[in-house]
């Protein structure tokens, strides 16, 4: 179990728009928007945190794309995540649908504005 996940963004406003669109269908809302000074960051989460998710922008840092996955509360939320991400400038990296895994898994994949592979997945409990 993680406490939080963070990633670096090369364009703060573009990433803010992207994550501001894709995270609410999964139950994560913007909790903090710090744009004071040279270093800026956003904190998304469900109350009460943790876990939470951080998008940070540092002008002197090169971006390294990564993969991370969010747990979705339903297949419908996965569909909403994918549609919202495409509308907010994300790139399709795997349409919503069932995935071949040992445990039933419905997922969708997007590339965010910095090329990070973002997944939302629903597993029946």
Walk me through the domains of the chain, giving residue ranges and CATH numbers: 4-58+65-122 (3.10.180.10)
Q: What is the pLDDT of residue 3?
A: 58
Q: Which of these ranges, 25-29, 58-62, 90-94, 117-121, has the smallest mean pLDDT?
A: 58-62
Q: What is the pLDDT of residue 1?
A: 36
Three-state SS sequence of the chain: CCCEEEEECCCHHHHHHHHHHHCHHHCCEEEEEECCCCCEEEEEECCCCCCEEEEEECCCCCCCCCEEEEECCCHHHHHHHHHHHHHCCCEEEEEEEEECCCCCEEEEEEECCCCCEEEEEECCC
Residue 75: is its pLDDT beyond 70? yes
Rounded to the nearest 10°, the torsion over CA 24, 19, 66, 26 is: 0
Looking at per-residue pLDDT, the higher value among 76 and 46 belongs to 76
Rounded to the nearest 10°, the torsion over CA 76, 95, 101, 69 is: -70
Residue 71: is its pLDDT beyond 80? yes
Q: Are 90 and 118 in contact (CB under 8 A)?
A: yes
Q: What is the pLDDT of residue 60?
A: 59
Looking at per-residue pLDDT, the higher value among 90 and 62 belongs to 90
Q: What is the pLDDT of residue 50?
A: 60
User: ω before 8 within 30° of 0 (cis)?
Assistant: no
Q: What is the pLDDT of residues 13-32, one digit of tens each?
A: 898 999 999 999 998 888 88
Q: What are phi and psi of 80, to 5 degrees?
A: -65, -40
């Amino acid at each position: 179990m993680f406490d939080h996940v963070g990633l670096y963004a090369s364009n703060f406003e573009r990433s803010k728009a992207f994550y501001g669109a894709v995270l609410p269908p999964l139950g994560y809302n913007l909790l903090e928007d710090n744009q004071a000074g040279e270093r800026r960051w956003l904190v998304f989460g469900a109350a009460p945190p943790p876990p939470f998710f951080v998008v940070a922008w540092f002008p002197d840092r090169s971006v390294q794309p990564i993969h991370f996955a969010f747990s979705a509360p339903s297949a419908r939320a996965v569909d909403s995540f994918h549609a919202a991400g495409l509308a907010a400038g994300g790139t399709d990296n795997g349409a919503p649908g069932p995935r071949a895994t040992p445990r039933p898994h419905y997922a969708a994949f997007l590339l965010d504005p910095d090329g990070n592979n973002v997944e939302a997945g629903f597993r029946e409990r």
